[in-house]
A and B are shown apart, each in its own frame.
Chain A
Amino acid sequence: DAGVIQSPRHEVTEMGQEVTLRCKPISGHDYLFWYRQTMMRGLELLIYFNNNVPIDDSGMPEDRFSAKMPNASFSTLKIQPSEPRDSAVYFCASSDPGLFGELFFGEGSRLTVL
């Protein structure tokens, strides 16, 4: 299997611009998660989906962040407008309930907002 695929791997943008991060989960996995990693706060769960439906978005920092999962093989995380404090590595992960909750992570998207 190809694993969880994220794009872009690196994104540099200017404050105020829209950023869209993309994720393709492992085929057959029912759960999809978006995490943000920073040195100061570690790994934070932003939102997760089950069968394409958002289950818990309590970790989304503010209205500038939105996430969608239009189908089982694709999800996006959008930041509009972006701010320098959004600079972080954003990870997508997927899971199959039959695997006792093991998460499979993508390689991450490193976002730098200038």
Chain B
Amino acid sequence: GNSVTQMEGPVTLSEEAFLTINCTYTATGYPSLFWYVQYPGEGLQLLLKATKADDKGSNKGFEATYRKETTSFHLEKGSVQVSDSAVYFCAPTSGTYKYIFGTGTRLKVLA
């Protein structure tokens, strides 16, 4: 079955710092890879996705590249803002819709 390993949080950064949140996964077949973000008091929403190897997903300054050889999908942002404070979830899916979400990585950005 699918599984995902994300770096433990919380991650605390100063505004304009560089962000990396590591994600490695195991999945059957050729999964699509997603990053979801959860702002306080809200449901999860899609941040970015990649559907095949070497694809780069990007949105709102965040990027992640589908690395099949290392089964990784690390999330990066060059300059974080206070408004990026949220919980981030990496989620592979291989068509069975049995997404595996971990506990997520909480990011706190200080002004």
Residues of B31-61 whose CB lies within 8 A of A? 32, 34, 36, 41-46, 49, 51
A53 to B49, CA, bound (A): 28
Q: How large is the interface on A (under 10, 10 to 19, 20 to 34, 35 or more residues)?
A: 20 to 34
A to B contact number (C-beta, < 8 Å): 52
Complex interface: chain B residues within 8 A of A48 (CB) = 97
Interface residues on chain B, number (Cβ under 8 Å): 21
Type the 1/0 row for A64-94, where 1 means its CB is closer than 8 Å to any CB of B.
Answer: 0000000000000000000000000001010
- State which of B44, B95, B101, B103 has its C-beta within 8 Å of the C-beta of A101: B95
Residues of B4-50 whose CB lies within 8 A of A? 32, 34, 36, 41-46, 49
Chain B interfacial positions (CB closer than 8 Å to A):
32, 34, 36, 41-46, 49, 51, 89, 93, 95, 97-99, 101-104
